[in-house]
Structure 1
Amino acid sequence: MRNEIDLILKPEFTQQIQNGYPLLMKEYFQDWNKLKEEGSLLHLYDNKKRFIAKGYYGLQNKGHGWILSQNEDETIDSEFFVRKIKEAIAYRKDFFADTQTTAFRVFNGEGDGIGGLSIDYFEGYYLFTWYSIGIYTFKESILEAFKQSVDFKGIYQKKRFNTKGMYLDDKSDFVSGQEAPQPLHVKENGANFAIYLDDGAMVGVFLDQREVRKAIRDKYAKGKTVLNTFSYTGAFSVFAALGGAKSTTSVDLAKRSLPKTQEQFCINNIDLKNQNIIVEDVFLYFKYAVRKKLLFDMVVVDPPSFARSKKHTFSANRDYVKLLKEVIQITNKDGIIVASTNAANFSMMTFGRFIDKAFKDLKTKYKVLKRYSLPKDFRVAEKFQEGNYLKVVFIKKL
């Protein structure tokens, strides 16, 4: 039986929740200490005991829970989840009709009305990602609703919360249906990616960068020498090569980046001869490139929000200006820098200030060519623009 708990909002936060803000923080409440168990359903009232909203308690890095409904009579059950899933699928009907792209997001957390859950589509297979124990407690109801609503080959899952001390009956990421081939080949704007649905925390490609990769291939890469830093499995490099890049260099600290990147090149029939793949701390590589006076026509820099190696700790909020200054020094005049971050704790405007400071510190002029944020399938809640975390700026070094 699920706990259902009444909570009183502090007056200064009541209007915010009434207006549709979906994220819950413990400081919004007068009586938060009532809560003990993640997954509890919350009935929220103002200090005059008037109903405001329903939500659930679930700890994740963003906050302490999410609003699910502002309708007092709405029951949070399988029928509720069926409605949400069907609405999300309908919103993305154009993606399902596109034979050139067979990997995209079909449910994006609070953007589709259920914070803490995302669902991605890979060539008929679906990957659920649970971001808190709280939302995971709804797993059976959500899966039942999904199976009622969607035709699928197979279902997989990732748990992005600390499972230590929890009894979890699932020993692999496979959940239901038929198991996917390893690798599973999917398409993105006609290019191929090898995806692994049951191989660690990540599957092989970040779907939110689809439009950026297409722009690199279609508009910017031809004839260029391209450096792709924090390259993961080399997706930007693949699109640069497909766009006619003279050469690509992919740099990432993870040892598996070498075979994974080679695999992505090979399934796209790209000759490896002009594709350099380097397993190295990116910050050390920058020093090497400056020492050797290496210059590139295009540099892609897409670091994690936070990263730690033996010699470096990187935080996007604190260190992006310094990182960008390293990049500027190894970019040719009239070269392109693709500066990217998925840090949600600052805005595109702030990111623009980081870029401006880096260039001004080096007394170098620049021109912003294009900005990108999340694509359509990564639906963002109107009242929660913090959810639009992706910031990518194409910059020309003058």
Structure 2
Amino acid sequence: MNGEKMQAVKIYAKKDFVKNFKSGYPLINRDMISNSEVLKKEGSIIELYDERNQFLGKGYFGIQNKGIGWILTNNKEEQINQLFFERKLNTALSERRKLYQDSETTAFRVFNGEGDGIGGLTIDYYDGYYVVSWYSEGIYTFKDYVIQTLLNEKGTLGIYEKKRFDRKGKYIEDDDFVAGERAVFPLVVKQNGIKFATYLNDAAMVGVFLDQREVRKQIRDHYAKGKTVLNTFSYTGAFSVSAALGGATKTTSVDLANRSKAKTIEQFQVNGLDESDHEIIVEDVFHYFKYAVRKKLKFDMVILDPPSFARSKKHTFSASKDYPDLLKQAIEITNTNGIIVASSNCSTFNMKKFKEFIQKAFDGRKYKIVEEYTLPSDFKTIKEFKEGNYLKVVFIKKLS
């Protein structure tokens, strides 16, 4: 187990990146370091210095898709041990007390990586159960510290985990149960009173994306009544259910994954809705758009929340390149004065760039941005790491 007895590995920041680290940037990339070859064992404590041997920060070595490690403290004397993890986790938990006390919301994020002071680690809460996501073998070496802190938390029923680091390109799947008592599935949780059937032991996806909580509430409360709604890349139909609860006359959910249909039906049922009043289609969204144009279908609201990257037999989609074209197709099947909810969780571009995509897609046609959302408060971010605030959601009114 890691801790103060472990000898720290000294690494040196290249001159061009020293300013970044001094301003609080927490992520270490290999190209920022002049001697990265000294990093051998994931989970090693690292001390970062500039080329003049001035201390910059202390953290851990862990390879994930974003980089090779995270700075956890700027205090050279601070030990990264059980007490360190307890302090960070307990601070984060106390900041979410208001959500713990909200009977209408029983699922939310309690620890959001670098936003709460430990990059590479996220923890979500599902009505008494915690799901811990580890993003590298490095952070996984601190597992005992995290699990013990959560077990000490009053009201903890059980803990599940997701090892989101891979070996040979494959997500590591096992039972996912760690400690406490096992949940009975589906575990039905709520966000703003909307119910979701979740499966905490079901590999990387549990059944609902918690970061869209406020967007779904807004659709239900202010946009759905009397409207026809198309929900693309619908996953388990969370947006469709929200619209239906808000009085949509009909929702159409489209997703390529075979399991999406049964999952969406289940979400309708746990909310007391008759799924036969709605359409659930297993199909490539790009094919569906062509079908809708051919059949002259139009919708009052189109929800566009694609993954950052997706591949089907005939299409490869990358949000950073292809979002304008996708949005252009959505515009074609949206009624005049209808709403498009354009969303992206791609961290490689910001809200400003996203709005440029929107302008490009409308290509001279008139539109109005009605409102916009980023991550909710439980998905805490820091200004020094802007890419951590990855979510961008824009409600667009099509005027012509």
Query: How far apart, CA to CA, are the structure 1 residues paired with 2:326 and 2:148?
Result: 46
* Aligned partner of 2:57 among 50, 53, 57: 53
The corresponding residue for 1:346 is 349
Deviations 1:291-336 (A, max 9, x none): 0000000000000000000010000011001000100000000000
Letter in 1 for 2:110: V
Deviations 1:152-178 (A, max 9, x none): 000000111114599x9x941000000
Cα contact 1:85–1:149 (8 A) shared by 2: no
Deviations 1:37-90 (A, max 9, x none): 211110111222222110111111111111111111110000000000011011
Runs of 4+ in 1 over 4 A off after TM superposition: none
Q: Please show how residues 97-112 of structure 1 align to structure 2 within 5 Å.
A: 97-112=101-116
Q: TM-score if structure 2 supplies the norm length?
A: 0.96
The corresponding residue for 1:153 is 157
Q: Please show how residues 28-39 of structure 1 align to structure 2 within 5 Å.
A: 28-39=32-43
Q: Which stretch shifts more, 283-292 or 45-54?
A: 45-54
Query: How far apart, CA to CA, are the structure 1 residues paired with 2:65 and 2:168?
Result: 17
* Aligned partner of 1:78 among 61, 79, 82: 82
1:142 shift after superposition: 2.0
SS of 2:145's equivalent? helix
SS of 1:383's equivalent? coil
Identity %: 60
Query: How far apart, CA to CA, are the structure 1 residues paired with 2:182 and 2:11?
Result: 43
* Aligned partner of 1:131 among 131, 135, 139: 135
Cα contact 1:226–1:299 (8 A) shared by 2: yes
Q: Are 2:189 and 1:189 aligned?
A: no
Deviations 1:74-122 (A, max 9, x none): 1000000000001101111110110000000000000000000000000
Q: Are 2:246 and 1:230 aligned?
A: no
* Aligned partner of 2:206 among 193, 203, 208: 203
Structure 2 unmatched ranges of 5 or more:
none
Letter in 2 for 1:119: I
The corresponding residue for 2:312 is 309
SS of 1:293's equivalent? coil
Structure 1 unmatched ranges of 5 or more:
none
1:3 shift after superposition: 5.8
The corresponding residue for 1:253 is 256
The corresponding residue for 2:398 is 397
Rate the CA distance shift 1:93–1:319 in 2: closer, same or farther, 3 A: same
Q: TM-score if structure 1 supplies the norm length?
A: 0.96
Task: Please provide the CA RMSD for this pair.
Answer: 1.5
The corresponding residue for 1:285 is 288
Query: How far apart, CA to CA, are the structure 2 residues paired with 1:135 and 1:107?
Result: 14
Q: Please show how residues 236-385 of structure 1 align to structure 2 within 5 Å.
A: 236-360=239-363, 363-385=364-386
Deviations 1:158-203 (A, max 9, x none): 111114599x9x9410000000011001011111110000112100
Deviations 1:6-45 (A, max 9, x none): 1122222122112111111112222111112211110111
